Amino acid sequence: MENQTQAGLRRIAIEPISRVEGHGKITLLLDDEGHVKQARLHIVEFRGFEKFIEGRPYYELPLLVQRLCGICPVSHHLAAAKAIDQINGVKQLTPAALKLRQLLHWGQLLQSHALHFFHLASPDLLFGYDSDVSKRNIIGVLKEYPEIAVQGVKIRKFGQEVIRAVSGKRIHGIAALPGGMNQPLDREVYQYLTAEIDQIVEWSKDAVELARRLCLEDTELFNSFASTESPYMSLTDEKGGLEFYDGNLRVKNADGSILNDQFPNERYTDLIQEEAKSWSYMKFPFLRSIREAQGGDSGWYRVGPLARINNCDSISTPLAEHYRQDFMKIAGNPLAHQNLAFHWARMIEALHCAESIQKVLADPDLFSLDLVAKGNRQSSGIGIIEAPRGTLFHHYEVNDDDQVTMANLIVSTTSNNFAMNEAVCSAANQHIDGNEVTPGLLNLLEVAVRSYDPCLSCATHAIGKMPLHVEMLDSKGQLIHQLSKNSNGEFS
């Protein structure tokens, strides 16, 4: 859509952003010479979960909040579960409950990563960014690259079946209880899982190779496209290894040095704060220490697969560790900041999940009935977990009647809000500025956002629906996101 603003600038809106989960919109403002004056990503939906779950009994939380998102319901289910474990004073789950939760989470990450790479992003990578719109989708991939598409569909199916085996349903199942889990693994689905897992590990390995090849096919594009340097945040285990379910927070600076390590989860508000802007329902979190030192819009950071692979010192499964070392050697200098490297990192994680599932499926604890631990009731709980798209925070306070009195949710995509806006600005400056605007070039802006695998469903949890909108507005617009700024994240 195209029209004129009051200031006489050309406004271009890309709406809705497609092949992402949820609703977003990008706006550009161009002057007479076609120079980009503003580029913004807007989230246009708002649901208000934080408000309407007040007053609900806390043990309903895992079921309520997973409805934030149909793509990663398990992440919200488990983040809430970790918080309500604490409310029940449970510090240590039974071995069976812990393994079931980890298995559930690996299934979630595997299916979500496969969905993103194969169903949503691969058409850009396989056909090209400016290819025919009618085939630039998973159906087109099924026709032209049936082997790749079918493997993607089956990897996702396997992840979904892992979720069904633990929670009874592929989407919005029921698994976690305060202090544990409600049932052992489903034996019928287990037969399918054990029969398929070796193949899934093999295909996941192929997927890493494919992502690697597609990234390196055009190294100039790979290294320059919408590239931006930033700090990274993720959980790591006590030794600094890759960890999705437990662990503490680590933040690395853009130069690879460590800013915070083993930062206690309960003190997360000392690490980050959030601010709002008038043009997006999605908030903008930032690192407090950097903002206090540098002011302005400084302190933004990234989360997700790239952050986790950059942050961790090792991966516990052999194949994924091999590919992590390979990735860091080729893309890391010392960290990998490339926008498209998200895809590569995402597939390394998918492989790690497949390997981890392979290992845990041999564990008889999955059928144990020792599933719930008990403790002394507390008044608050903070559950932090690595969702497919990055670090996810659920923080609740409850009263003596078991009602929720405060909820603070920072969903993964929110942490990448600044970064995605930066990526849009960077891509617009690189490819649109001064050029004739074509649909192919506009798709490049979506490609820059798509790398982050943004989940705008999650991001719009605030009350309904938040659209994501990248906007380049004129100099009279509020809170101008100037495209003339450098790619180091200095917002003017």
Partner 1 sequence: MADQKIKVATCSLGGCFGCHMSLLDIDEALIEVEKHVQFDRSPITDIKNISKCDLGLIEGGLCNEENVHVLKDFRENCKVLVAVGACAINGGLPAMRNGIDVQDCLKEVYQTGYNLTTDIIPDDPEIPRLQEKVQPLHELVKVDYFLPGCPPPAPAFLELITALLEGREPNIDYPHRRFD
Tell me whether the omega of the peptide bond preceding residue 16 falls within 30 degrees of 0, making it cis: yes
∠ CA(335), CA(214), CA(421), 5° rounding?
Answer: 55
DSSP state of 21: B
Asked if residue 142 binds partner 1 (CB under 8 A), the reply is yes
Q: Is 69 annotated as a binding residue?
A: yes
Helix (H) or strand (E) holding 383: strand 380-387
DSSP state of 57: B
Contact 272, 288 (CB under 8 A): yes
Identify which of residues 48 and 95 has a Cβ nearer to partner 1 in the complex: 48
Indicate the SS3 state at residue 352. Answer: helix
DSSP state of 40: E
Contact 256, 437 (CB under 8 A): no
Encoded one letter per residue, x for contact with partner 1 by CB under 8 A and - for no contact, window 286-325 reads ----------------------------------------
**Length of the chain measured in residues:** 492
Contact pick of 7, 98, 150, 437 for partner 1 (by CB under 8 A): 150
Contact 302, 231 (CB under 8 A): yes
Q: Is 72 annotated as a binding residue?
A: yes
Contact segment (CB under 8 A) with partner 1 among 22-30, 79-87, 233-241, 369-377 equals 22-30
Sites for partner 1 among residues 362-421 (CB under 8 A) = 395, 406, 408
Asked if residue 437 binds partner 1 (CB under 8 A), the reply is no
Sites for partner 1 among residues 39-58 (CB under 8 A) = 40, 42, 44-48, 50-53
Residue with tokens 């649901």: 47
Residue 91 carries which side chain, given as an amino acid letter?
K
Asked if residue 71 binds partner 1 (CB under 8 A), the reply is yes
Please name which of 389, 333, 280, 347 lies closest in space to residue 42, comparing C-alpha atoms.
Answer: 280
Distance CA 22, CA 68 (A): 11
Identify which of residues 42 and 352 has a Cβ nearer to partner 1 in the complex: 42
Distance CA 487, CA 8 (A): 27
Contact 125, 214 (CB under 8 A): yes
Distance CA 117, CA 324 (A): 18
Residue with tokens 């007040």: 54
Indicate the SS3 state at residue 378. Answer: coil
Distance CA 316, CA 79 (A): 22
Identify which of residues 63 and 330 has a Cβ nearer to partner 1 in the complex: 63
Identify which of residues 131 and 314 has a Cβ nearer to partner 1 in the complex: 131
Under rule CB under 8 A, how many of the chain's residues touch partner 1?
77
Contact pick of 7, 138, 328, 361 for partner 1 (by CB under 8 A): 138
> What is the closest distance, in whole angstroms, from the C-beta atom of residue 382 to partner 1 in the complex?
11
Sign of the C-alpha dihedral, residues 238, 419, 478, 18? negative
Contact pick of 120, 189, 328, 441 for partner 1 (by CB under 8 A): 120
Contact pick of 375, 463, 485, 491 for partner 1 (by CB under 8 A): 463
Asked if residue 133 binds partner 1 (CB under 8 A), the reply is yes
Contact segment (CB under 8 A) with partner 1 among 98-106, 147-155, 312-320, 421-429 equals 147-155
Asked if residue 275 binds partner 1 (CB under 8 A), the reply is yes
Contact 306, 231 (CB under 8 A): no
Identify which of residues 19 and 324 has a Cβ nearer to partner 1 in the complex: 19
Asked if residue 143 binds partner 1 (CB under 8 A), the reply is yes
Q: Is 312 annotated as a binding residue?
A: no
> What is the closest distance, in whole angstroms, from the C-beta atom of residue 345 to partner 1 in the complex?
23
Distance CA 233, CA 305 (A): 10
Identify which of residues 312 and 407 has a Cβ nearer to partner 1 in the complex: 407
Tokens of 17: 């952003």
Contact pick of 68, 100, 448, 472 for partner 1 (by CB under 8 A): 68
> What is the closest distance, in whole angstroms, from the C-beta atom of residue 292 to partner 1 in the complex?
11
Sites for partner 1 among residues 441-460 (CB under 8 A) = 443, 446, 457
Identify which of residues 268 and 344 has a Cβ nearer to partner 1 in the complex: 268
> What is the closest distance, in whole angstroms, from the C-beta atom of residue 93 to partner 1 in the complex?
26
Q: Is 144 annotated as a binding residue?
A: no
Identify which of residues 72 and 335 has a Cβ nearer to partner 1 in the complex: 72
- Binding site feature residues for Fe cation: 72, 458
- Binding site feature residues: 50, 69, 72, 409, 455, 458, 461
